[in-house]
Amino acid sequence: MSESKPTDPDEAERISREEFSRRHAAAPFQHRFNHLFPLWNENNARYFEDRLAAPRISIGPTSSRRISETRVNTDYGARTNIVFSPGLMFGTDRRLVRTDDPDAPGVLRLIADRLLGEMVKQFVMEVHNSLEEGWDGYGPLYAREATRIGAQMGQTDPADALSEVHPRRRAGRLAGMPVAAWWPHAFRPDGYYAGHVSFGHLQLRGRTRAGAPARRAVGPGVFEYLHFLAATGKHGQLLEVLGREVDAAKVGRNPALAAAERGPGTRPGGPYRCPQSPPTG
């Protein structure tokens, strides 16, 4: 007896898409999809009591600094799309993937972790009916579910448990600690990915202190012109030019301060006029 076809158009399309992805997609894609879909089913049973609706899983561009993400809809309006970056899945982002073996243990572990992290977001969206928009999707609900799963990982071996997850760092109390947006890969112990991946460019444990700002390039001929003004006694013009540069720098650092310093006598948005030295002699 043949299996009945689903009557829901969205579900019918999802099943058809999964079948195509696993049987007829280009070989590198097919290889990854045949790993991802079964793993999604295992995670759904183990961590989510089979409460999640099967999603679309795709490989394509993701947001800046994200190597995977969960979207409410696909680009054609179907429900739930988990997207992985090609740089991770095919090893083309050499800042991230540090091996030529696409199936190196560390790479497969990271792919599995990113799938689990996105499934937590899917759970918050579908079961808690929340996008946690004020938290970019990684708020208290996400942190709570991630903490629950991290503890569950340690039921067989306590060493496998992951630490408590927080949505954001608070007043230095969690300085240098990873937060929900990078769960679970930023919570794994050193060596977990066997050196096959690197996260240095993602700054997982907080923002690094900014270095000194780069010196702004000066256009050719500028210093010659300033020297000419000084050498020919055109001090008024020299101060005017330098004043505009000083004002522009202040606007860049603090627009409100620069506007106040212009004073009521200066046209709005006009350059701050440097005071001129009184003539000598």
Same structural domain, 99 and 168: yes
Least confidently predicted of 19-28, 174-183, 220-229, 257-266? 257-266
Decide if 4 is inside a domain: no
Determine phi and psi for 189, rounding to 5 degrees: -70, 160
Q: Give me the pLDDT at residue 96, please.
A: 95
Q: Give me the pLDDT at residue 232, please.
A: 87
Using 50, 70 and 90 to split pLDDT, how confident is the model at 237? confident
Which of 141, 176, 202 is the last residue before a domain boundary? Answer: 202
Q: Kindly state the average pLDDT of the residues 19-25.
A: 97
Q: Kindly state the average pLDDT of the residues 84-95.
A: 96
Q: Give me the pLDDT at residue 213, please.
A: 40
Q: Give me the pLDDT at residue 264, please.
A: 42
Same structural domain, 155 and 110: yes
Distance of alpha carbon 66 from alpha carbon 84, whole angstroms: 9
CA dihedral 206, 68, 135, 127 (to 10 degrees): -140
The closest of 160, 165, 176 to 121, measured between CA atoms, is: 165
Query: What is the percent of the chain with per-residue pLDDT over 90, rounded to a whole number?
Result: 60
Model confidence pLDDT, tens digit, residues 35-89: 999 999 999 999 999 999 999 999 999 988 899 999 999 999 999 999 999 999 9
CB 149 within 8 A of CB 120: yes
Which of 202, 231, 248 is the last residue before a domain boundary? Answer: 202
Model confidence pLDDT, tens digit, residues 112-133: 999 999 999 999 999 999 999 9
Decide if 97 is inside a domain: yes
Using 50, 70 and 90 to split pLDDT, how confident is the model at 260? very low
CB 132 within 8 A of CB 139: yes
Decide if 156 is inside a domain: yes
Nearby residues of 249 by Cβ (< 8 Å), 6 or more positions away: none
Q: Give me the pLDDT at residue 3, please.
A: 63
Q: Give me the pLDDT at residue 203, please.
A: 60
Decide if 262 is inside a domain: yes
CB 147 within 8 A of CB 123: no
Q: What is the DSSP string of 126-194?
A: HTS----GGGTT-SHHHHHHHHHHHHHTTTT-GGG------SS--TTTTTT---GGGTTGGGSPTTTTT
Same structural domain, 235 and 119: no
Instruction: Quickly tell me which residue has 């009945």 as its tokens.
Output: 4
Determine phi and psi for 275, rounding to 5 degrees: -65, 140
Pick the residue with more confidence: 273 or 54? 54
Whether this prediction's pTM lies above 0.75 is answered by: no
CB 165 within 8 A of CB 149: no
Same structural domain, 197 and 65: yes
Same structural domain, 183 and 74: yes
Residue 254 has pLDDT above 60, yes or no: no
Which of 138, 169, 202 is the last residue before a domain boundary? Answer: 202
Query: What is the percent of the chain with per-residue pLDDT over 70, rounded to a whole number?
Result: 76
Decide if 213 is inside a domain: no
Pick the residue with more confidence: 266 or 16? 16
Same structural domain, 30 and 146: yes
Using 50, 70 and 90 to split pLDDT, how confident is the model at 214? very low
Least confidently predicted of 67-76, 105-114, 149-158, 204-213? 204-213
Mean of per-residue pLDDT scores for the chain: 82
Q: Is the dihedral of CA 161, 114, 200, 167 positive or negative?
A: negative
Number of domains in the chain: 2
Same structural domain, 196 and 222: no
Same structural domain, 20 and 126: yes
Long-range contacts of 5-10 (CB under 8 A, 24+ apart): 10/78, 10/79
Distance of alpha carbon 264 from alpha carbon 64, whole angstroms: 43
Q: Kindly state the average pLDDT of the residues 178-184.
A: 92
Nearby residues of 246 by Cβ (< 8 Å), 6 or more positions away: 272, 274
Instruction: Quickly tell me which residue has 């060596």 as its tokens.
Output: 191
**Which structural domain, as residue segments, surrounds residue 107?**
9-202
